[in-house]
Structure 1
């Protein structure tokens, strides 16, 4: 497995660490690196290390309570967006946008169990 210096880390605050682990590993191909549920876990996909911080984690406690979620999201490149949409819809996952086409490709947003955004992107 890659060392911590080889990975880019993003922290997502989640309500339920176990549900987040399930979402990212079952549906999006991440692998569990550390599981300290219910407080914390981290999952890895390629060079992305996603820190899943539950309410009891230090990362969640350090965040001011009045901080609103932004429009930031992780961006995952897929080879066949239509097939991914069909697969994830069949699994009952919630999408937060319609399919959008632009000059660089096509994308759609879905949400994890805590409402964090995940962008699936198929390059042109």
Structure 2
């Protein structure tokens, strides 16, 4: 592969709201934005493709593929408690309680469409 980035596509209801969410709350930068159809934002080696309703990337999938999954992007933070306070103050909805495990602690939040983002503090 010639591209050193990993790309993930999220189908979103509102491209601009998704761009604002990822740039404001998680420090992504905008690579391109042709809202309402499409935008892509980047953070390090991650390129997040945001496809709105008028885009080809948001076309319906076959009925047998419309099963909700547990896929999500993961954002690593140094201080989960501080991030939770910051996100809560900004009105970002939490989808889980804090979960602790052998690798660290995490909480799930959702973007404006409901796509999951795992906020993770490693041990």
TM-score range, shorter chain: over 0.9
Question: How does the TM-score come out when normalised to structure 2?
Answer: 0.94
Q: Does 1:21 align with 2:19?
A: yes
Aligned counterpart, 1:120: 119
Aligned counterpart, 1:57: 55
Q: Of the candidates 35, 38, 42, which is equivalent to residue 37 of structure 1?
A: 35
Q: How far is 1:62 from its partner?
A: 5.2
Question: How does the TM-score come out when normalised to structure 1?
Answer: 0.93
Could you tell me which runs of 5 or more consecutive residues in structure 2 were left unpaired when the two chains were aligned. none
* Root mean square deviation of aligned Cα: 1.3
Could you tell me which runs of 5 or more consecutive residues in structure 1 were left unpaired when the two chains were aligned. none
Note closer, same or farther for the CA distance 1:62–1:6 as it changes in structure 2 (3 Å cut): farther
**1:82 partner SS:** helix
Note closer, same or farther for the CA distance 1:104–1:93 as it changes in structure 2 (3 Å cut): same
Aligned counterpart, 2:45: 47
Aligned counterpart, 1:11: 9
Stretches of 4+ aligned residues off by more than 3 angstroms: none
Aligned counterpart, 1:90: 89
Q: How far is 1:76 from its partner?
A: 1.0
**Cα deviation code 1:10-31 (max 9, x no counterpart):** 0000000000000000111100
